[in-house]
Amino acid sequence: MRFVCPYVLLLLGLLPVLWRKKRRRQSESLVPFPSVQLMVELSPPWRVRWHSLPDILRLVSLGLMIVALARPQIGRGTVLDYREGIALMMVLDRSGSMNAPLSGDDAALRRWDAVKKAAQLFVTDKEFAEGSGDLLGLVAFARHPETVCPLTWSHELLRYFVANLDLEEDPTLDGTALGDALALAAARLHKADAPGMKIKSKAILLLTDGRNNAGSLDPIEAARMAARWGIRVHAIGLVGSDSPADHPAVPGQPAISFGSGIDEETLRTVAQETGGTYAMGRSADDLQKILRAVKTMERTSFPRTRSTRYGEIFPWFVAAALMVLAFEVAMRWTVLGGVP
C-alpha cells in the first residue's frame, strides 16, 4: 500500500489531543460525593460503563476520514519476470564505402541497404517481440562513433532509429573508426547492470566492410577491453564487387573505387579475443542467416522488473468512516441516550 498524500496522515496526531480534551471536560462535570466508599459500593449500570463508546467511535470515524484524505492505493506488487533474453549492442559501419554494391544476385543492392534491412529484421523478429526481455541498442560510426539508441526494451523504437539512419554525408567526417566504435559499445554494455537485474550475456554485433583508419583506439585493444568486461564481439564482414563503384559515397561528390578493402584478419582477431565469432557476408540473405545464428548463440536469461499499477482504495475508508459514524449516532440517541 502507498499514499498519494502521506503528509495528511500527520493529522492523526490530533486524535489523542481531542481525546484528552474530551476526558478533561468530563472530569470537570462530575458531581462530588461526600463519601468515596458509597461510590465503590454502588454498581454502575452498563450504560454508564459504556458512556465513552460514542466518543471513541467518533474519533475512529475521524481517523478513517483522515486516512481516506491521504488517498491510499494498493498495487499488485513488483514482479520479476524471468524471460529468455540477451543484452546486445549493434555496431553499424556507416562510412562512405557502404555505398558500394553487393555481389552476385544482390549487385543492385547497396551494402548499406542490405545492412539496414537485415538489422530491422533482426530487431523485429517474432522472437524479439516487445516484452521478450531482450535489451538491444545501436552504435553507428564513420570517422566518429555515436550512440544512436541506448539499450532499450522498446524494439520498435530501435527499428525506427535503424530505418532512419543513413550514411555519413560530410566527406570530412568519413572514415572507419572501428576501435572507437567497439569501445563505445562495450562501455554501454558494461554499465548495463542495474539494481535487481544481473545481465548474464552481453555481446556486440559488428557489421563493417572496411578496416580501421580513424579514431584513437586500435580494434584489438578495444576487443581486449570488452573481453575483460565479459563482452563477446560477433564480427560480420561485408564484401561486394571488386570493381570500382559507379556510385559516389556522397551525392555530389566524385565516385570512389571501393573494391574489397575489408580487414578480415583484424575482425577474426577481435572475435577470437572476446570469445565471439567471425563470418563473411556476401549477400543480404547471408547477413540475415548470420544474424539469426548470433541471436541463437547469445540467448540467455535475466530478470526484468515490471512497473506496478496502483488502484485507489480511499472509497473503502470513506465508507467505513460513515458506517462507524452512523453507529455512533445511533448509540448516542438510542441505547445510550439517557447517559449524561
Cell 578496416 belongs to which residue? 211
Cell 558494461 belongs to which residue? 190
pLDDT at 180: 96
Q: In whole angstroms, what is the distance from residue 199 CA to residue 204 CA?
A: 14
pLDDT at 93: 93
Helix (H, G, I), strand (E, B) or coil at 336: coil
Beta-carbon count within 10 A of 77 CB: 7
- What is the secondary structure of 161-178 as a DSSP string? HHHT------GGG-S--H
Could you tell me the three cell numbers for 30?
462530575
Q: In whole angstroms, what is the distance from residue 149 CA to residue 183 CA?
A: 16
pLDDT at 232: 93
Amino acid at 330: A
Q: In whole angstroms, what is the distance from residue 184 CA to residue 226 CA?
A: 10
- Are the CB atoms for 86 and 298 separated by under 8 Å? yes
How far, CA to CA in Å, does 109 sit from each of 6, 168, 282?
A: 62, 18, 11
pLDDT tens string 319-331:
998 999 898 888 8
pLDDT at 55: 83
pLDDT at 270: 95
**What are the beta bridge partners of residue 204?**
89, 233
Helix (H, G, I), strand (E, B) or coil at 65: helix
pLDDT at 54: 81
pLDDT tens string 236-275:
998 765 434 444 444 444 444 444 478 899 999 999 999 9
Quote the radius of gyration of the chain (alpha carbons, Å).
36
Q: In whole angstroms, what is the distance from residue 56 CA to residue 324 CA?
A: 10
Could you tell me the three cell numbers for 65?
476520514
- What is the secondary structure of 141-206 as a DSSP string? ESSSEEEEEEEES-HHHHHHHHHT------GGG-S--HHHHHHHHHHHHHT--BTTB----EEEEE
Give the residue ranges of the chain where pLDDT is below 50. Answer: 130-131, 194-196, 242-260, 339-340
Domain ranges of the chain: 2-27+34-76+308-333, 80-303
Could you tell me the three cell numbers for 67?
486516512
Q: Which CATH number does the domain 80-303 belong to among 3.90.226.10, 2.60.120.10, 3.40.50.410, 3.40.50.300? A: 3.40.50.410
